[in-house]
Amino acid sequence: MVDEIDYEGAVEYVTRAAKERHARSISALAVHGVMTGVLDKEHLYRLNNLDVVLPDGQPVRWALNLLYRSPLTARCYGPMLTLKLCARAEQDGLPVFFYGATQSMLDGMRKNLLKKHPKLIIAGMEPSKFRRLNAREKIELADRIRSSGATMLFVGLGCPRQEIFVYEFRDLLPMPALAVGAAFTFISGMYTTTLRTPLS
């Protein structure tokens, strides 16, 4: 279910997919997300059919190292990965799109990201409807994301809704879609975090 991958590998994987316009479904999964899959066979199927599942939580990394002799020295934390990918997107001129959370949280994210990465191209931001989208809404949202010119999509809906989202949209979008957990909350500045890369 969880892949042996670090920040460097994840950034390279997502950036390559963005540049080549390849659909990729990715989730940064902590213990709660792993256990959701263990307890729900339908969701386990989804998780096992994502392209990459990142070891977001430290216990997930420890388990990989203990059970599979993985050499991981750090977890691949969704908020930190989001910042690293935004830095790379700014460097390479890759437009990004954010879906989820509330409009006020998205506004805070935009302000903080552009303060740190002034040349980052934010192709679009759209808040969550806080419910599962119907078939028509999915198609319309996918059309808006594609037409925005985005090359990578960050999804912040909470677990397991965000994993369901990237799974269901994998055939609708020619770009990597990442379920990044609490990244929207932390980057917006609404809550404090231990991110080692400050936004101010």
Average pLDDT score over residue span 68-77:
68
Q: Each residue of 8-63: pLDDT tens digit?
A: 999 999 999 999 999 999 998 875 766 776 778 988 899 899 999 887 766 555 55
- Tell me which DSSP letter residue 5 carries: -
Phi, psi of 74 (to 5 degrees): -155, 155
Cα separation, 161 vs 146, whole angstroms: 21
Chain-wide mean pLDDT for the chain?
87
Cβ–Cβ under 8 Å, residues 30 and 60: yes
Residue 70 pLDDT? 74
- Top-confidence residue, 72 or 93: 93
Residue 166, CB-side half-sphere exposure with 13 Å CA sphere? 36
Fold for the domain defined by 7-188? Rossmann fold (3.40.50)
- The model's pTM is 0.89
| Residue pLDDT, tens place only, 154-175 | 999 999 999 999 999 999 999 9
Model confidence pLDDT, tens digit, residues 177-197: 999 988 999 999 876 544 554
Cis before residue 59, ω within 30 degrees of 0?
no
Confidence band for 200, pLDDT divided at 50, 70 and 90: very low
Domain boundaries, the chain: 7-188
